[in-house]
Chains A and B, each alone.
Chain A
């Protein structure tokens, strides 16, 4: 069965520091991969997506992610975190008509 894991439940970084959020997936075919961000009490906003081609994808708000097939990973990165990046981040795999979401990683940003 398809599954998505995000090993880090909660990460705290200082403002201006770099960030990497991990995501691993289990999926038999070439996956469509997504990263979404959710602010408290809000819906989900798409940060970036990978379908095919260049394995390093750029998203909004300065985020990027790298697809590594050999590691079944799609880690999210940002070189310099802003206080407004504090939120919940979800990695997702699309299959069929549905999405499978990871458990999420909560990001806290220290001033």
Chain B
């Protein structure tokens, strides 16, 4: 199947700093990627849909100025958590679908800890 790579897998940052998470589709081009957040022992919540070459579409309640998404190429989307706070600590997962495929492929996830 298609491969989606996410980096870093773990990151610890200080409050007030920004953290960038990368999501790459390794063997296919993805015009659309998705960013999810998963709280401990909870399901995945869609944060935003990343669209190549245009602005991301954010779900209700997600602060677009805090969670900056850039989809500059057909194989890379980035999520930047700005001015991080401890409550931003979570597991973030991206996914992407190859063209014409309904099935989504997920990255390995990024464990963010803000101290």
Contact = CB atoms under 8 A, between A and B. Distances in A.
Interface in A81-111: 90, 94, 97-99, 101-104, 106
A43 B46 contact: no
Of B1, B102, B107, most buried by chain A (CB within 10 Å of CB) is B102
Interface residues of B, number: 24
Contacts, number: 51
Interface of B: 1, 4, 6, 9, 32, 34, 41-44, 46, 49, 91, 93, 95, 102-109, 111
Task: Tell me what chain A mostly uses at the interface: helix, strand, loop, or mixed.
Answer: strand
Contacts of A94: 102, 104
Given A41-B9, A43-B93, A90-B43, 17 more contacts: A32-B102, A41-B91, A43-B6, A43-B106, A44-B93, A44-B95, A44-B106, A49-B103, A51-B102, A94-B102, A94-B104, A98-B49, A99-B34, A99-B44, A101-B44, A104-B41, A104-B43
Nearest to B45: A101
A99 B105 CA distance: 11
5 cross-chain pairs, A with B, having the tightest CB-CB distances, nearest first: A44-B106, A43-B106, A43-B108, A103-B43, A43-B109
Contacts of A74: none
Contact of A34 (B41, B93, B103, B111): B103
Nearest to A46: B103
Question: Number of contact residues on A: which range applies?
Answer: 20 to 34
A42 interface: yes
A62 B83 CA distance: 45
A97 to B, nearest CB: 6
Nearest to A41: B111
Given A49-B103, A51-B102, A98 B43 contact: no
Contacts of B41: 104, 106
Given A43-B93, A98-B34, A90 B44 contact: yes
A102 B102 contact: no
Contact of B43 (A41, A42, A101): A101
